[in-house]
Amino acid sequence: MLRLGSRFFSLPVLRTCVWIGAMLVGVSSFAAEPSPTAAGKDTGLIPRRVLFGNPDKAAARISPDGKQLSYIAPVEGVLNIWVGPVGDPSKAKPVTKDKFRGIRSYFWAYTSQHILYSQDANGDENTHVYSVDLAAGETKDLTPFKNVAAQIDSVSHRFPNEVIIGLNDRDEQFHDLHRVNIATGERTLLQKNTEFTGFLTDDDFKVRLAQKYAEDGGTLILQPDGADKWKEFLHIPQEDSLTTNPVGFDKTGEILYLIDSRGRDTGAITQFDLKTGKQTVIAENPLADAGGIMAHPTENTIQGVSFTYDRTIWEFQDKAIEKDFKILRKIADGDITVASRTLDDRVWVVAFLLDNGPVRYYVYDRDTGKEKFLFTNRKDLEAWKLAKMHPVVLKSRDGLSLVSYLTLPPESDPDGDGRPNKPLPLILNVHGGPWARDAWGLDPEHQFLTNRGYAVLSVNFRGSTGFGKKFLNAGNKEWAAKMHDDLLDAVDWAVAEKIADPKKVAIMGGSYGGYATLVGLTFTPDRFVCGIDIVGPSNLITLLKTIPPYWAPAIQLFKDRVGDHMTDEGRKFLESRSPLNLVTKIQRPLLIGQGANDPRVKQSEADQIVKAMQSHKIPVTYVLFPDEGHGFARPPNSLAFQAVTEAFLAVHLGGRYEALGDAFKGSSITVPAGEEDVPGLAGHVPKPVETKPEPKATK
């Protein structure tokens, strides 16, 4: 049971998983309002719905016994889970009945007769865990509590009828672990939590380790001492705290697998013998931290480890797995992901990820070496010429290597060398986190924006994850400083390479990327023609004061890496890095998008900067969705947001855009300010609709 990136040592980072945005300010860059372009083959303009509507089918998974295939697909426009026989996926039928928000992630229980999924209400992140009984045709809410953020902690093939769920119903700051029967919902307390950010259990559902942040900024990993107390197992220094963490045990429970950057720069996969204390490196890479881990479903032996610098590569520990990958590489292009496996590891569902086409899913039989094509996730995309994404490594002004991704309109780069035939309007698209990263692959935002005529550049600035601890720690307390310098250096590179027109550079992003947008328009007001802030914090002090209560145990992380809002000196520092305090510097158009239920970056972060801009008579367009949180999950809202965004960009960068049309159909979109500054928006916004309650489990 290896849990790389699981809740146990996952971080409560500020990142946006669903593309978001909407708000505008300033004087138009063009004298006349641009006219929309008709979408279709005649013009080559890809309709918004093709890129941002529901996928046809996605997230294909095989049941542990290998008999059934599942996937997510729409039912009356809302994503639900479908199940059918592996031999004939065309016979699949929906097994859930969500009518509103849609299901986006799920997995098979080891019974092969149950499916588990999580869902919140309107983006509030108070997640419930649901169990779907395929035989009975019933869906049961395993965590029927209000204002509780349930978290699936772990499952084990040794206990197919149970799941471990973390619940903060007793104390909103801490998640206690419960063993929960997936058929009856019966719960048994496994581990009370009064101080920890997470736990690690083994396949026997024994709690083996716990984590908490130390006052010195490091991480403490502790073991039960056998007397209802804890003893220190590892003290991880602050410099290694985001690049070192346990990820699971072998079959015996005597070997701990540990990603470890201590004594090196990048996080290597190691095994730690708990009896002898001997630690051995399994796989490492000098440029990148260990990423994905392939381990046998029951033996827990590590079969392969992935590393992603500019592209993903695999290092194999199991020759048989290496042979399978060689066969798979002959089937289709793209990066290979084993999305699902049978319990005996004989049959896989494999996804091929491309940069200029939809995801391709196959069932692969390891015994025969044969594959069966299932489907692509967005068939409509197959009819369009999409752009290639070019990995490039730039240099910051102080010598750091910045792994970045450039996408150009295909017609601007006929020879495919990653250089346009003339400089283009450029959009600097900044990722969230900031403890996250951009990666190669099909990016709907890149495709959308290049299709409208823009070059798009995404930069892994210092503080991004995956590139070793030195690069990560170089971002400590550098919000609005060296982290922003990296973005400016990337723009300078694009201008010097004649990729970007220096007079037509925009900045946009979600979460931290939204903050970076506000920084761009306040700290460097002359550098960008316009900006799009998507659920971005405007004041770092109010951001840290309003984090979700269950993030409180990790507050030391924010103090060390962002700033300390609890001391006078720290508050003064954070004030100096907060765009809200420089709002009068804004000279260029700004578009802000926000979800009213966002628990990470509260609506007040958007409200306060809009109010400040209005008080200084600085124009701004503010788009607010009352039924969304930290990201716009409902397709009608995503499509509405994209419609506003492309019209806004057309005004200030001169690209093409699709008319609003029925883009707001079914959306909860509201525009509290500035609708007159986006072409076609005035008078087009529907009256606010009452937010629908999250549907109850149905039979």
pLDDT tens-digit profile of 86-104?
A: 999 999 999 999 999 999 9
Residue 650 has pLDDT above 90, yes or no: yes
CATH of 385-539+578-677, one of 3.40.50.920, 3.30.70.890, 2.60.120.650, 3.40.50.1820: 3.40.50.1820
**Dist. CA 239–CA 261, nearest whole Å:** 9
Digit-coded pLDDT (tens) for 499-520 = 999 999 999 999 999 999 999 9
CB 203 within 8 A of CB 249: yes
The percentage of the chain sitting over the pLDDT mark of 70, rounded to a whole number, equals 94
Domain boundaries, the chain: 385-539+578-677
| 18-32: average pLDDT | 34
By percentage, how much of the chain surpasses pLDDT 90?
91
CA 35, chain centre distance (Å): 34
Predicted local confidence at residue 517, as pLDDT: 98
Nearest by Cα to 445 from 376, 506, 493, 504: 506
pLDDT band of residue 32 (cuts 50, 70, 90) is low
Distance CA 73, CA 88 (A): 16
Give the start-end residues of each E strand in 474-566: 500-510, 530-534
Q: What is the pLDDT of residue 24?
A: 26
630 catalytically annotated: yes
Active-site position among 202, 335, 564, 598: 598
Q: Given this model, what pLDDT does residue 1 score?
A: 56
Residue 82 CB partners (closer than 8 Å, separation 6+): 57, 70, 71, 72, 73, 92, 93, 94, 95
Mean pLDDT of 407-435: 97
Q: Which long-range contacts (CB under 8 A, 24 or more apart) does 548-552 make?
A: 548/12, 548/125, 548/149, 548/599, 548/600, 549/168, 549/172, 549/173, 550/12, 550/149, 550/168, 550/172, 550/173, 550/174, 550/175, 551/12, 552/173
> How many other β-carbons are positioned within 10 Å of the β-carbon of residue 423?
18
pTM of the entire predicted model: 0.93
Question: Does 63 qualify as catalytic in the annotation?
Answer: no
Q: What is the pLDDT of residues 538-552, one digit of tens each?
A: 999 999 999 999 999
Active-site entry in 114, 178, 431, 630: 630
Q: Mean pLDDT, the chain, as a whole number?
A: 93
pLDDT on residue 688: 54
- Average pLDDT for residues 282-289, to the nearest whole number? 98
pLDDT value of position 694: 46
Query: Which residue in the list 6, 511, 667, 668 is annotated as catalytic?
Result: 511
Distance of CA 612 to the CA centre of its chain: 30
Question: Taking the chain, what is the end-to-end CA distance rounded to the nearest angstrom?
Answer: 32
Q: What is the pLDDT of residue 27?
A: 35
pLDDT for residue 3 is more than 60:
no
- Say what the pLDDT of residue 46 is: 98
Asked, as a colleague might, if the bond just before 94 is cis with ω within 30 of 0, I would say no
**For residue 10, pLDDT beyond 80:** no
Sorting pLDDT into bands at 50, 70 and 90, what band is 699? very low
Type of residue at 196? F
In tens, the pLDDT along 296-355 reads 999 999 999 999 999 999 999 999 999 999 999 999 889 999 999 999 999 999 999 999
Of 111-125, 166-180, 682-696, the least confident: 682-696
| pLDDT tens digits for range 620-648 | 999 999 999 999 999 999 999 999 999 99
Q: In the predicted model, what is the mean pLDDT of residues 98-112?
A: 96
Distance, in Å, from the CA atom of 61 to the CA atom of 292, rounded to the nearest integer, reads 18
Q: How far is CA 155 from CA 60, 135, 200, 298, 576, in A?
A: 20, 21, 11, 12, 45
Number of helices and strands in the chain (H, E): 11, 36
**Which tens digits make up the pLDDT trace of 547-587?**
999 999 999 999 999 999 999 999 999 999 999 999 999 99
Q: How confident is the model at residue 2 (pLDDT cuts 50, 70, 90)?
A: low
pLDDT mean over 197-204 = 96
User: In Å, what is the CA distance from 573 to each residue of 408, 561, 584, 659?
Assistant: 39, 12, 19, 44
Q: What is the model's pLDDT at position 228?
A: 87
- Give the model confidence (pLDDT) of 63-88 as tens digits: 999 999 999 999 999 999 999 999 99
Q: Is 667 among the catalytic positions?
A: no
For residue 518, give the H/E element and its range.
Answer: helix 512-522
- Residue 654 clears pLDDT 80, i.e. is over it: yes
The band of 686, judged by pLDDT with boundaries at 50, 70 and 90, is: confident
